[in-house]
Structure 1
Amino acid sequence: MDCNLFPAGERILADIESIFKKDLKLNEFVITLVEMNENKSPVNHMDHCLCLESWCVPYLYNYTHIRLKELRKQKKRDLSGHNKLLIGALLLNPDVTLFWNMRRELVTNLRIDPQFELQFTSVILSRKPKSPEVFSYRKWVLTVSNSVPLDPVLLANELQICELAANRYHSNYSAWNHRIWCLESVSDPSIYIEEWEKSRHWVSSHVSDYSGFHYRQKVLQYLVKVSTSDVKILKKCDSSLIKVAINSLQQFLHPTDDGFVGNDYKLTTVTKKILKDSKSCQLSFESIELGLIASELLFNTDLLVTFPGHEAIWCHRRFIIYVYKKFINKLKMQIEKEANIHKDSNGVPVEKDPKFECISESLLQRLIQFEEMICIQFKTDFDSVYSDRHSFRLNNLTR
């Protein structure tokens, strides 16, 4: 298609660029269904929303695509005309890597302000919330503008954009991965604790969307890591999180009257120790780490009860069990290491305390007992398939 066949293209692009310059609070882009040219500008603007009539979309995109390819081939390129064309092209199709690379060139040559790019990409995400190219470019802009680590204002803005994108598109891993990147750039435990609570509310209202659970898993892994290195960091940030962890662990480990007798005395010993430690504020990292895992397991159980028949909840439970088993293996190694340290003068290991000799095994048995009850409880019409799969994986847990 010859560019001369759409003479209105330049005027439409100029109108779009003008709106971006005038409205610094522009936050949405939509294409309205208008099948015929009504001999007026197809660009509309109201309430910080940019609207483009659908009849001109194929013509405008072809126009920008051809013009940009022509400019790209020129040996001595005039970058001044690129911005307007790229705005139009990327609004209509943000999944073209070449166009984003051309915008990177403009930013590098100081032809456009990185702050404008953040607004521009947020407008694109209002229509294409799952585009990985947009999030990748946004990450690049924040990096080259020396905004990483993100300050509180920028971080809040990025988290809000990610949440809007996740709400607009199911299973939006691009948005959640960008959110993870934002947290990793800050590495502030208090932010992770806030995200722990926020993600709890989000997954509770999007129980079939596993991408939200995947994000929550990343937050859980970070909190477990922090509790392992220094529990005082978590306590300083939010003491309520510590209380939740301790209460969940007590609830999970508390012996029941359902016939499970074998290792109950060990579980009772562990629970009493946790109660004693929590009263004296001498919280070990093992207690907090296992408590966080237990709290997530109990939360997942509540979701299964409230929202039956959702595979995403069962998949998330599989991850929780994986983290629990990983903790058990680490605890077992620590117990064996301590046993090797405590030897007499002849190098013979001293007698172990029988109450703590099989702590890791008793904790694993408690998990298996708990999960077996779950499989029986949820063997219903809604969850029978998922329950059977979970039971099968549970049988492989001790291997």
Structure 2
Amino acid sequence: MASDKRGARLLSDLSNVFRKDPNIDEYDFLPVLEPKQNKSPIILVDHKLGLETWSVKILYQYAYHTVLTWRNKGPPVQFLEPVQLINLSRAVLLVNPECYTAWNIRKELIEAGDITVLEELKFGALILSKHPKSAETFSHRKWVLGKFLDSFLSSSQDSTASNGSTCSYEQGLVSMEAIDLSLECVGGIPVVQHGVANGHQDLKLQPISEYQAQMKAELCVCEKAAEKYPCNYYAWSHRIWVIQHCHNCCIQLLLGELQKTEGWVSRHVSDHSGFHYRQFLLSSLQRQAECLHNQFKLLYQTLLQKEHQFIVDLIHTYPGHEALWSHRKFVFSISYQAFNPENGTVSNIAKKDRGDHPEKHVESTKLLKKTRLENDYDVLKVKEVDNVTKKELNSSNLYQRHLAKQYLEWMEKISLQHSR
């Protein structure tokens, strides 16, 4: 009974803190094992929240028991106001973000309009500041972003119908090509260039501004989570989901992300998840190689050559890291696919130029011949084997030599596959 009273008091203190400062952006548990003074164990300084360790169990047990009793309609059944459910579920999730029951309650509160989508996204980001690898938090976040996207699409379509402006959508996804994205970056992320007339922002484009701002924030949330927990599969998978579902794999953003994450993986050379994200970016750009060539005059071949040199430099600088060699395998493999004379990316570009732009036929033919000569599989293989044999196999690092040997064995296996 005394524990219930203390739990209720702690919940009240926590709720008051969030009411006074709705911009709390980080929290942690303070190593205080028992109360030393007659004051609240909940501390707030500069939007940073701290809970003394001794109080965490009491708070969690009270909030969890109360919300589960209400959920299961167990005795004594009591009616809880939406505000109470918000406070209780928040207390539970701050301690245990894998409690899907609490997340489901918050989904119902969002559907009922008691919690806004933006408030929930802010709360989810707060949870990830302490629990950056929480699977349930990322899962819930996808659902909330889906609601946000639906709301944006609805408001944009209403605006389009009323003012006659045009905006394209594909399969329920927002087409970021309809938003004028510039390759100028803020922190490496492309930013929206809004329509401006006489120095004043067009208020009709405000929903797009809000959408783009939130999507930039979402990528920042993913990056912070990846920084806090190494090889954070959930954070990088969520980042891929955002690019696919909220940005529709926009070429400008793919290029911006490729440039931005170059520095990140250079600082985290053992992080397989970070390199997997770059592989996703390169694969997405490969599927849009013709558009990349037509709109930006940029050959996919150029990106692959740059990526190959980038990973080779990292391997030389940081010997003995398996993640780097795994990425090197990917780059070599996709290079062969891209420059295959039968169905490769460069072949397709040349064929399309010949059909759609006869005047470019000669130029495309030269490009195709040059590409076949320089990137024929046998030529690529000979160059790669020669480089690895001369450099990595002679490394003073024992594990580097082991990885180089494995890489050459892998090349022999795929050579047999290609020769069949």
With structure 2 as the length reference, what TM-score do the two structures score?
Answer: 0.73
Q: Is the 8 A contact 1:328 1:360 kept in 2?
A: no
Q: CA deviation at 1:61?
A: 1.4
What's the counterpart of residue 133 of structure 1? Answer: 136
Q: Which residue of 1 aligns with 2:384?
A: 371
Query: Of 400, 403, 420, which residue of structure 2 is paired with 1:383?
Result: 400
Q: Retained in 2: the 8 A contact 1:189–1:234?
A: no
Structure 1, 10-19 or 223-232: larger mean CA deviation: 223-232
Q: Which has the larger radius of gyration?
A: 1
Flag structure 2 segments of 5+ consecutive residues without an equivalent. Answer: 154-173, 175-209, 352-365
Report the structure, 1 or 2, having the larger strand content: 2
**Could you tell me which amino acid in structure 1 is paired with residue 228 of structure 2?**
R
Alignment deviations for residues 156-181 of structure 1 (CA, whole Å, 9 cap, x no partner):
11111111111111001111111112
Q: For residue 370 of structure 1, report the CA deviation from its aligned partner.
A: 2.1
Q: Alpha-carbon deviations, 1:334-358, whole Å to 9, x = none?
A: 77998xxxxxxxxxxxxxx9x9599
* Displacement after TM superposition at 1:303 (Å): 0.6
AA in 2 matched with 1:231: H
The equivalences for 1:276-295 within 5 A come to 288-295=299-306
- Correspondence for 2:255 among 188, 193, 205: 193
Q: Deviations over 1:10-37 (max 9, x none)?
A: 2211222222232232110110000112
Q: 1:114 to 1:104 in 2, by over 3 A?
A: same
Aligned counterparts of 1:114 and 1:362: Cα–Cα separation in 2: 49
- The CA distance in 1 between the partners of 2:371 and 2:319, in whole Å, is 36
* Separation (CA, whole Å) in 1 of partners of 2:127 and 2:332: 39
Q: Does 2:327 match 1:332? A: no
- The answer as to whether partners of 1:226 and 1:233 remain within 8 angstroms in 2 is no
* Counterpart-to-counterpart distance in 2, 1:158 and 1:232: 30
Moved more, 378-387 or 119-128: 378-387
Distance in 2 (CA, whole Å) between partners of 1:383 and 1:314 is 9
For residue 68 of structure 1, what is the aligned residue in structure 2? 67
Matched, 1:323 2:334: yes
How far did 1:371 drift? 1.8
Q: Indicate how the Cα distance of structure 1 residues 333 and 218 shifts in structure 2: closer, same or farther if over 3 A, else same.
A: closer
- Does residue 177 of structure 2 align to residue 177 of structure 1? no
Please list, as runs of the form range in 1=range in 2, the aligned pairs for 1:38-77 lying within 5 A after superposition. 38=36, 39-74=38-73
Q: Distance in 2 between matches of 1:51 and 1:121?
A: 17
User: Any idea what SS the aligned residue of 1:398 has?
Assistant: helix
Q: Partner of 1:311 in structure 2?
A: 322
Same amino acid, percent of matched pairs: 32
Is structure 2 residue 313 aligned with structure 1 residue 302?
yes
**Offset from partner CA, 1:271-298 (integer Å, 9 cap, x none):** xxxxxxxxxxxxxxxxx12222222111
Q: How far did 1:76 drift?
A: 8.1
Task: Measure the CA separation in 1 of the matches of 2:113 and 2:375.
Answer: 63
Q: In 2, are the aligned partners of 1:13 and 1:88 still within 8 Å (CA)?
A: yes
Which letter maps to 1:65?
Y
- SS of the equivalent of 1:7 reads helix
Q: Distance in 2 between matches of 1:73 and 1:34?
A: 34
Q: Hey, what's the Cα distance between the residues in 1 that align with 2:369 and 2:339?
A: 14
Q: What are the residue-to-residue correspondences of 1:109-188 with 2, within 5 Å? A: 109-145=112-148, 146-147=151-152, 149=174, 151-184=211-244, 185-187=246-248, 188=250
Mapping 1:234-273, distance limit 5 Å: 234-235=296-297, 242=298
Normalised TM-score (structure 1): 0.77
C-alpha RMSD over aligned residues = 2.7
Deviation at 1:362, TM superposition (A): 6.1
**1:92 CA displacement:** 0.3
Measure, in 2, the Cα distance between the counterparts of 1:357 and 1:121: 51
8 Å CA contact 2:42, 2:51 repeated in 1: yes
Give the CA deviation at 1:63: 1.4
Question: How many residues are matched?
Answer: 332
Alignment of 1:221-240 (within 5 A): 221-235=283-297
Q: Work out which structure has the larger RCO, using CA pairs closer than 8 Å and 6 or more positions apart in sequence.
A: 1
